Structure 1
């Protein structure tokens, strides 16, 4: 079936615009990360001064509900400027996500196939899942100001995908014309995309825990991070969700391999590195569930898993030669 060039062009424009919007959202989040606590302290001092000026006391700052503009009757203090900037960053991230999703949908409509046939599309899918997972966790935990740390690898991956790994919209190779493409590759993309979130959270956990032990270390960055236990919960809960999805993807890949190549497992480079990643994350979940290995040791294992996942994303398709070399780049 011929490719719809118009939809393909719209897909490319949506992809490029999504990257630009993510970069703009990163700037807003960095402002909140850099000045958020300072602005909050300034607002508290201002409110304290106002209360003292009318005969109140600084203790009333905690007990007396604020009735500032836009929050009358809600019992919540007025939002600071940096908080509003952070909320604008979240809105931009959602806009970028919508454009990101549109790019994949339009690519699929343009080619009349599932849009996971090459590295460009695969990276677009992985980063899409990462942003969705982060937005979900952002609603559950006070980690919005850390969004720039997650969007940074997303933007880098999308930039590489849109430049070095870009593939013109076209039908997939005959070897990929199977319903297993939808099942196996989708599960692998969802699992790998979510794994980026606990990877970043574990790195930040190690920074925060190092600061808690020695305040001299990371003295400028670490105090603005959430408590170590919050970062630990974010890393653990996202890994718990991603691991069975990733496992399902590996099992489906084995079934597809038997149908396509006559064997379930052949120690192809992609299979081998995926298995290594699976073992690392299994070790993380086991260590996290074992009291003696919680904390720094478990976070270190998770960071290793993150590194293996990124290595697996690029090494097999761009460096090694194997049965999974379907990068779609020359």
Structure 2
């Protein structure tokens, strides 16, 4: 199976371009944050009827403010980055003539693609554009790290990964990790909003520019109930693949153990979210802890731990 060097180069260019565009969109989002509100209500004039009764005020849209225009530009840039990002993944797969999730570089490339797609889906559904800079920051950081540190030349997949379980298990694991970045950031935002009155003055200036606490709580919960079942499926598929490859379903390998702990944390979050006394701040802390465990599993376990998964950098 040959490698198409030209398509691999195009994939690299697309990935670098997407990273640059996300960084630019993050800059636009930071400017929007600095400007504060992106729109201002305009008082509508009351219309008095011939009979003397006043009609309810008619809502009239305000002209876009500078902040709102910059916010829209940042959102458009994020969509452009997503298109280039997706092209990078597809071109990588065509270049190597296999499923493009055979090493840590490709894994993070796909994971960050899912994270951005999840963010754009949330931004289309909820009034949360003000947290764009906080979502794009970890995504762009991971992509820069991916391109600079984890980059791998296009090559055939290792024999141990030549299985249809690569498509099923690794794709769902990467997809779940990417999807769970958004609720983790939303829960951090919730904690910031919740605590802003008790913090220093600079902190109190930042917090009101985040979306409302109840919106952040809903975003965190609704995206987690999508990402958690996907993560559960990935863990189950990993156990089945482990039995086929190593003769056991579970061996408390560092990556398996960390994944299980992360799974327990997210299960506890979903339970806490429905429990009186834990529904708000306590549940948000658990959700942030879950995201930290997922990122720890992605970076530290893959790179530093003595794990059966270390040969691939994925799992």
Note whether the superposition's TM-score is higher than 0.5: yes
CA contact (8 A) 1:150 1:197 kept: yes
Q: Which residue does 1:92 correspond to in 2?
A: 77
**Contact 2:130/2:211 (<8 A) preserved:** no
Q: Which runs of 5+ in 1 are unaligned?
A: 52-61, 67-75
1:63 to 36, 57, 65: 57
* Deviation of 1:40 (Å): 3.6
SS at match of 1:218: helix
More divergent stretch after superposition (222-231 vs 17-26): 222-231
| C-alpha contact 2:303 2:313 (8 A) present in aligned 1 | no
SS in 2 for 1:263: coil
Match of 1:142 in 2: 127
User: How far did residue 194 of structure 1 move?
Assistant: 0.8
1:188 corresponds to which residue?
Answer: 173
Asked if 2 retains the 8 angstrom alpha-carbon contact of 1:277 and 1:305, the reply is: yes
2:260 to 269, 272, 275: 275
The aligned counterpart of 2:206 is 221
Q: CA RMSD in A?
A: 2.0
TM-score for the superposition, normalised by structure 2:
0.92
Matched position secondary structure for 2:19:
helix
Structure 1 residue 212 displacement after superposition? 5.1
Match of 1:10 in 2: 10
- After the TM superposition, which residues 283-294 of structure 1 pair with which residues of structure 2 at under 5 Å, given as runs? 283-294=268-279
| Residues 214, 17 of structure 1: alpha-carbon distance in 2 compared, 3 angstrom cutoff | closer
Match of 2:281 in 1: 296
> Paired residue for 1:159?
144
Residue 245 (structure 2) aligns with: 260
Question: In 1, Cα distance between the equivalents of 2:59 and 2:242?
Answer: 63
Query: How far is 1:224 from its partner?
Result: 1.0
Shift of 1:77: 2.0
Cα distance per residue 1:251-306 (max 9 Å; x no partner): 00000011111100011111010001000000100100112211111101111111
Q: Distance in 2 between matches of 1:274 and 1:65?
A: 51
- List gaps (5 residues or longer) in structure 2: 46-55
Name the CA distance, whole Å, in 1 between partners of 2:99 and 2:280. 40
SS in structure 2 of the partner of residue 252 of structure 1? helix
Q: Provide TM-score, normalisation by structure 1.
A: 0.88
Q: SS at 2:144's partner residue?
A: helix
Q: Does 1:176 align with 2:170?
A: no
C-alpha distance in 2 between matches for 1:157 and 1:327: 18
Cα 1:213–1:140 change in 2 (3 A) is: farther
Q: CA deviation at 1:327?
A: 4.5
